[in-house]
Amino acid sequence: MTTSILTRHTVSTTQFHSILGTGAAPRANSEVLTDPATGRAWGTVTWDEDTVDLAVENAVAARRAGDWASLTAMQRADVLDRIGLGIAEHVDEIAQYETLANGKPIAATRAEVAVSARWWQYGAALLRTLRDARIQMSATKDATVTHEPLGVVALVTPFNGAFSLGVWKLAPALAAGNSVIIKPPINSPASTTVLLRIARDAGIPDGVLQIVQGGTEVGQRLVEHPDVDMVSFTGSTGAARRVGAAVSGRLGHFVAEAGGKSAHVVFEDASVTDAVTAVVQGGFSATGQTCVAGSRVLVHSGIAGEFTAALLERVARLRLGDPADPGTHLGPLVSGQQAERIRSLIDQAQADGAEVLAGGSDVPELPAPFDGGYWMSPTVLKVASNSVDICQTELFGPVLTLIEFDSEEEAIAIANDSDFGLAAGCWTTDMSRARRFGQRVGAGTVWLNTYRGMDWQTPFGGVKQSGIGRENGIEGLREFQQTKSIVQDFAPAADPFGLA
């Protein structure tokens, strides 16, 4: 692995900025980029709200020029394939930037970046195989159902996966023929910058793909812009509501993947070893900073003692430390503010009667240079009821709450007792029960005897307060297209008024 990016003892002078199709991006404001593992600066990002107007103007011009949208599906597919190949050549660089930005362990970021090439290959495959539908309406009349690009699309990506979750959006958006403006999170400008460079080298025309850097002000101006036809957003439920209100006010198209509070259910007939493995992976991957984290762990009372003992033994062996070390399991939280928020929720849970079985709100001690980072120990709480705040609030941290249940009906009721509906999972050897669970739990994705398995072919998204629309699969491509029916009648025109 190269060490030019993941250095822990020097302050980088690297600067990131917006990249437009034509013209220089204004740089009136700047913000220091901080490594969450050390608290030290590693670069700066510059931004300006006026960049949004320039980017949209370029995107509109690119849409009208048609240099991308007018290509055949096969031609666009070739470009997408080249982007996938380009990513494969830059896995280490991109992964290191992601680790620097959000603290996710390098083993995880490498895997995420490497597999992201499959999204581009899948998009190319769809372009080569999907065809317009022809509907025979009568002996002389038929209709062609076609799918066209929406136009100018804005993609707003989250801090916990600026690159990988950005690819989920960008690959289908470009496959559909749109002009795209992507706004990465302010703390993670680098990996998207590399992606843009790869895309342009692969043949994406100027103006078809642009980056606007910045924080909330830039994002708000982008999603409110009247010439943006569609917004795809990943972030908190509160932010999704605000973005959705702005987009719907002009009848724009909106897709959002928002918060989650997923239930991970272990029935009495489950393999405890397999269930513990999945619960640890589902709850502590990325230090719990994932939307699908299985943070509510529901365990049948008949095996609660055995399961809890096995879980705590496994949690005690998790390695917390340098995210640049391939052997690290848990890195830091993304910011000091996030760490304090979660500690406060743990303290409140204890006041509400929760029992701390592992971890807790105390700050773990790490050696220099990591003593300045934003650390939190993997935490397991036992709670008496799903109604306490910590079971109803998305934490985005390494915290599991254990809740016991006595019956299938009770487990499903608890799983559904949430404002969120992004994902859920269960462990059982009874396949009929597994099927019932999958059908009755209100979530966009339900995993049966597995957890966190996601694929470029499988639609992903939430119900209730977890979002609207879908990413991935054919459904994910269609979100970036508008459907048109073209009807043709080969018979002479009928005269219903008898005037001809």
Rg from Cα positions in the chain: 24
Beta strands 355-358 and 379-382, pairing class: antiparallel
Contact 263, 446 (CB under 8 A): no
Burial of 171 from C-beta contacts in 10 A (0-12 / 13-18 / 19+): buried
Phi-psi region of 368 (alpha: psi -120 to 50; beta: other; left: phi over 0): beta
Contact 98, 109 (CB under 8 A): yes
Instruction: Enumerate the H helices of 27-138 as residue ranges.
Output: 50-65, 73-88, 91-102, 106-129
Q: 98 an active-site residue? A: no
Encoding tokens for residue 26?
A: 């204004």
Q: 291 an active-site residue? A: yes
Which residue out of 112, 224, 257, 268 is catalytically annotated? 257
Encoding tokens for residue 411?
A: 């487990």
Which residue out of 57, 98, 104, 169 is catalytically annotated? 169
Which residue out of 98, 112, 408, 471 is catalytically annotated? 471
Phi-psi region of 288 (alpha: psi -120 to 50; beta: other; left: phi over 0): left
Query: Using omega within 30 degrees of 0 as the cis cutoff, is the peptide bond preceding 184 cis?
Result: no
Distances (CA, A) of 255 to 109, 248, 289, 321: 25, 11, 21, 36
Contacts of 39 (CB under 8 A, 6+ apart): 336, 372, 373, 374
Contact 344, 250 (CB under 8 A): no
- Looking at the DSSP bridge assignments, the partners of residue 153 are 180, 230
Which residue out of 57, 183, 261, 291 is catalytically annotated? 291
* Active site residue ranges: 169, 257, 291, 471
